[in-house]
Structure 1
Amino acid sequence: MIDFKIILIPLIISTLLTPFIKRYSIYAKAYALENERTVHHGKISRIGGVAIYLAFFITMAFFVSTDRALSGIVIGGSIMFFAGLIDDLIDMKPIVKLALEIAAAIVLIYYGVSVDVIRIFGVVIDIPFLTVLFTVIWIAGITNAVNLMDGLDGLAGGMSVVILVVIGCLALVERRIDVVTITFILAGATFGFLIFNAHPASIFMGDCGSLFLGFMISAISLLGFKSSTIVTLALPMLLLMLPIIDTLSAILRRTLKGMKFMQADKSHIHHLLMKQFGHGKTVIIMCGITSLFGLSAFIYMINKVIGFIVILSLLLGIELFIEKSAMINEKFHPLMGLYRRIIKKYNEIKAKFYFR
């Protein structure tokens, strides 16, 4: 059974801390500036992640006994939090931010939280250099994926809560109490902040929040990799499918346009959805899709065939949206192009037999 104190206490702490952080932001001038990419108006605090960070670690101090692996997660998470906080206050260069993400990943590896082996279609790769490299790419990739989703009120926080709750529930099934405790404490801390971050937001989590959450999700997904089936790479990849697809699409899109791949734009999935459905509904839709991916993980555990069909259907739907919205490029439509070629060929064959 879940001890609901691990959810309620960080939720209450985060809820109480957030108004104080909003007031402090005015004096520190730590508020989000308006530009051509922003969807907000006015001076809104962008260091709300401080509430999530403090609520998480205060609660952890009471409920969790620190071991070597958890120490690595705490240190690595703190590196990402303070890196994000500095970026929120003085704007850090992207290359410096990436270097700190790699440093946090190396700390995590040093404390024993990493991929031991890589399994691809039955092939086992246990070369230390490659497993370390893969771990660093995984941590940096997921951290940036969550960071990129922080473009609408409540989006990054809402999706993170969904992902954490699903991981926590699966951990409960597998009786991984350590993973259950960490995920639900972090989910509670994030949910408390979401009370103020839901549209229309009165505070943003900023990079200190999104980088911290991204790192923690990626680290938790590796925590049980050696001894449990609940946090293999397939699960977090499934839960983070939207931000992963969005990140890869952004890199491809910017490369085709001759832009730097870390250069920001306004063609992410949430931006495109917002044009059609509006701000609030877009957040609900994306959190809903993430929930469906989480549900598909449970279905897959019960019936692999049905689970695979559900996952494939979700991925097909996202791919069609990317093609129809020209998210990557106006000429990028492999599935729709294939469908048109099949229909064209079918009509040609049909006409040929008809005239005979």
Structure 2
Amino acid sequence: MSGLLAAFFSSFITTLLIIRFKHLHSHLSADSDLTGPQKFHTKIVPRIGGIAIAAGLLLAILLRLKNVPNSTIEVTLLICAIPTFAIGLIEDLTKKISVRKRLFFTMISAALFVYLLQAQIVRLDIPGVDFILTIPLVGAIFTIFAMMGLANAYNIIDGFNGLASMVGIITLLGIAYVGFLFADPTIIYPSLVMAGAILGFFIWNYPRGLIFLGDGGAYLIGFWIAALSILLVFRHQEVSPWFALLINAYPIMETLFTIYRRRIHQGKSPGQPDGIHFHTLIYRRILMNNHQDKNWFSANSKTAPYLWILAGMSVAPAILWWKSTLILITACLIFIISYVWIYTSIVKFRTPKWLRLEQ
């Protein structure tokens, strides 16, 4: 509990200080691009919220190390996260780091995770595939690419106030719950302190958008969740590997669908931004009429809850049937079908009436 409170309050206070003294650093930290296809804010806002989350995480882990000197896994996780957080933060400050370079540094973080913790994806409960994954190099490469993908996925879904941060909190609480079932503090503690650190930032980000997560924060959250998802399945053979996939289904699906849309449908680079993500469509096709609201809950702030519910549709069955591969695969298929159906309906201006809550 002390670690959770330390992570929350240090993140909360750091975020407050960043906002309070933004006039001193806004020339470096502010997101001043108001015209891009993925930009929906109307004023210049600091995009270095990741610093606050990192500060909360650091303090909580140092506190853990002081009380439990052999907490090497938590410290190792923090060390592994440094490259991906650092390159994201540099992008937040310079706006000049390419997607390829960011992915390269995320790959370094993932490789450090595999090497230092000797943990990787070794099974998918699919005959033949599991045999291939037991080959050390194959399993390591697959793990690295999976972690790169999820870290980048959180950057992709970070489009509206409170979206990526709350999805991260929901997912971390789900991981912590399963870790609790096994009484595994190695899973519980880093899950809860990261959730606490994100919450300290979230309060200032949602609903008013006083500060943004930034690439550094998004990559840090995505990498941390990827590491804990893999570590949980690796340490406890009773947990189905499909738990790790289903509990992260929303950001994974958004990423895969984005790659398909940009590469196959549009014929352009997957790294090139566009304005038709799932969250963007909800904003433009369902909530756009209220985008000039002067109250706190503008269309921007009303967008995220739609996606929180969508994420919950995968997290809930993941934590209910964490050891049943058959049920989890079925839930994955249902989620994919639901995602594609809703997305297609909105694109074709056939949005289901139950999604138009304000009409």
Using structure 2 for the length normalisation, give the TM-score: 0.84
Q: Which residue of 1 aligns with 2:174?
A: 166
**Where in structure 1 do 4 or more consecutive aligned residues deviate above 6 Å?**
302-308
1:293-314 Cα shifts (integer Å, max 9, x gaps): 2211233248877766655443
The one-letter code of the counterpart of 1:105 is A
Q: Does 2:198 match 1:190?
A: yes
What is the CA–CA distance in structure 1 between the aligned matches of 2:112 and 2:228, rounded to whole Å?
A: 14
Q: Secondary structure at the match of 2:180?
A: helix
Cα distance, 1:309–1:128 mapped onto 2, change above 3 Å: closer
Q: Secondary structure at the match of 2:234?
A: coil
For the Cα contact (< 8 Å) 1:299–1:306, is it kept in 2? no
Which range moved further: 288-297 or 134-143? 288-297
CA-CA distance at 1:199 after TM superposition: 2.1
For the Cα contact (< 8 Å) 1:10–1:185, is it kept in 2? yes
CA-CA distance at 1:291 after TM superposition: 2.0
Q: Which residue of 1 aligns with 2:354?
A: none
Cα distance, 1:59–1:68 mapped onto 2, change above 3 Å: closer
What is the CA–CA distance in structure 1 between the aligned matches of 2:346 and 2:89, rounded to whole Å?
A: 34
Q: Which segments of 5 or more consecutive residues in structure 2 lack a partner in the other structure?
A: 288-298, 350-359
For the Cα contact (< 8 Å) 1:113–1:223, is it kept in 2? no
Cα distance, 1:264–1:192 mapped onto 2, change above 3 Å: same
1:219 to 219, 223, 227: 227
Q: Which residue of 2 aligns with 1:349?
A: none
The one-letter code of the counterpart of 2:179 is A
For the Cα contact (< 8 Å) 2:250–2:314, is it kept in 1? no
Q: Which residue of 1 aligns with 2:14?
A: 17
Q: Which residue of 1 aligns with 2:218?
A: 210
The one-letter code of the counterpart of 2:253 is I
Q: Which residue of 2 aligns with 1:7?
A: 4
The one-letter code of the counterpart of 1:291 is G
Larger radius of gyration: 1
2:346 to 325, 332, 340: 325
Q: Secondary structure at the match of 2:124?
A: strand
What is the CA–CA distance in structure 1 between the aligned matches of 2:91 and 2:42, rounded to whole Å?
A: 21
Aligned ranges for residues 116-131 of structure 1 at < 5 Å? 117-123=122-128, 124-125=131-132, 126-131=134-139
CA-CA distance at 1:49 after TM superposition: 0.9
For the Cα contact (< 8 Å) 1:164–1:183, is it kept in 2? yes
For the Cα contact (< 8 Å) 1:71–1:111, is it kept in 2? no
Using structure 1 for the length normalisation, give the TM-score: 0.84
What is the CA–CA distance in structure 1 between the aligned matches of 2:238 and 2:277, rounded to whole Å?
A: 30
Q: Secondary structure at the match of 2:41?
A: coil
Q: Which residue of 2 aligns with 1:107?
A: 112
Q: Which segments of 5 or more consecutive residues in structure 1 lack a partner in the other structure?
A: 331-356
Q: Which residue of 2 aligns with 1:27?
A: 24
Q: Which residue of 2 aligns with 1:36?
A: 36
Q: Which residue of 2 aligns with 1:77?
A: 81
Aligned ranges for residues 234-253 of structure 1 at < 5 Å? 234-253=242-261
The one-letter code of the counterpart of 1:84 is G
Residue identity (%): 24
CA-CA distance at 1:251 after TM superposition: 0.9
CA-CA distance at 1:281 after TM superposition: 3.0
Cα distance, 1:259–1:116 mapped onto 2, change above 3 Å: closer
Root-mean-square deviation over aligned CA pairs: 2.3
